[in-house]
Amino acid sequence: MTAVLRCAPDWPRFAGDDWPARVMSVTVTDKLHEKQGRSIARWTLTDASGGTLVVFLKRHFVLPAADALKAKLYPQRAWSPGLCEWEHLAWAAAEGFPVPRAVAAAEFRGPGLKLQSMLAVEELAGMLPLHEAVPLASQSLNDATFALWKRSLFTELARLSRELHRRRVFHKDLYFCHFYIREADITHPPADLQNRVVMIDLHRLAHHRLGWQWFVVKDMGQLLYSSNVPGVTDADRHQLWDDYRRGDWHGVAPPEGLRRFAFAKARRYQRHHDKHAPAP
């Protein structure tokens, strides 16, 4: 077996120098979610001085044999979700996007056509995903304050989406639950939420120069659909699109005609969700 390893300088202090041999088998049950050969869980580590590091540990135990073969043929590239997301987070941080700190990643190749991976990202302590934060703010703030808070939030979501897309880079999982905001920014709203919204789950991030309009529709359709939470209106969603297109693109902006397709895509996501939602 070959292991491709990446880690922050403080990671071995918490996880131990032998972490590559243990990380795929260690038992982690806090906030555990398992699905189709992969898992994610909250892992609290302690160093010798009593300091703590809390991470979310993503592990992929079963990956396609085709990707394992590619890893053998082109070993200089990342082929697993864990190592790919490490690279995407590094790119995003270097470009100025607010993203979680990645502290470790590994790609385990072999024996044979076996491929596994892991990624550890530091917990966003004191933060909430937007599908929880926006309804909470709508209940906690008075109407005037909530309207200003929501306007600032949607302006920032438009900016982050535009900054990705003007580079012809697309998230491909651009849902409300993949943006986080500080709980304190609800109880004590700042004047401006710029650079105060963190974007997560960048494992599918990709660059597309050809056919980029389709990926605009897909990303924005996901964002518009997932904004269907208490406190958000159709007027808010159209304002989000307006802000998204109105900013500085440093080049060619998406044509206004894509609005219709993005909103149609959002409706298709909603119909799919309604069709497959459990019966009450």
Residue 251 — very low, low, confident or very high, per pLDDT cuts 50/70/90? confident
Mean pLDDT of all residues belonging to the chain: 96
Q: Which domains does the chain have, with CATH numbers?
A: 2-122 (3.30.200), 127-276 (1.10.510)
Q: How far apart are CA 21 and CA 183, in angstroms?
A: 37
Q: Is 145 helix (H, G, I), strand (E, B) or coil?
A: helix
Give the pLDDT score at 276. Answer: 79
Question: What would the pLDDT profile of 194-240 be if each residue is shown by its tens digit?
Answer: 999 999 999 999 999 999 999 999 999 999 999 999 999 999 999 99
Q: Is 105 helix (H, G, I), strand (E, B) or coil?
A: strand
Question: What would the pLDDT profile of 93-146 be if each residue is shown by its tens digit?
Answer: 999 999 999 999 999 999 999 999 999 999 999 999 999 999 999 999 999 999
Using the structure block, give the residue that is written with the tokens 């982690």: 28
Q: How far apart are CA 95 and CA 10, in angstroms?
A: 23
User: Which residues on adjacent β-strands are paired with residue 117?
Assistant: 60, 107
DSSP H helical ranges for the chain: 11-15, 19-22, 65-73, 81-94, 130-140, 143-166, 184-187, 212-226, 234-246, 258-276
**H or E segment and range at residue 125:** none
Give the pLDDT score at 278. Answer: 74
The pTM for the full model equals 0.94
Give the pLDDT score at 277. Answer: 75
Residue 280 — very low, low, confident or very high, per pLDDT cuts 50/70/90? low
Q: Is 71 exposed, middle or buried (0-12, 13-18, 19+ CB in 10 A)?
A: buried
How many angstroms separate the Cα of 188 from the Cα of each of 56, 118, 137, 141?
A: 27, 36, 10, 10
Q: What's the angle, vertex CA 249, arms to CA 192 and CA 222, rounded to 5?
A: 70
Q: How far apart are CA 70 and CA 74, in angstroms?
A: 6
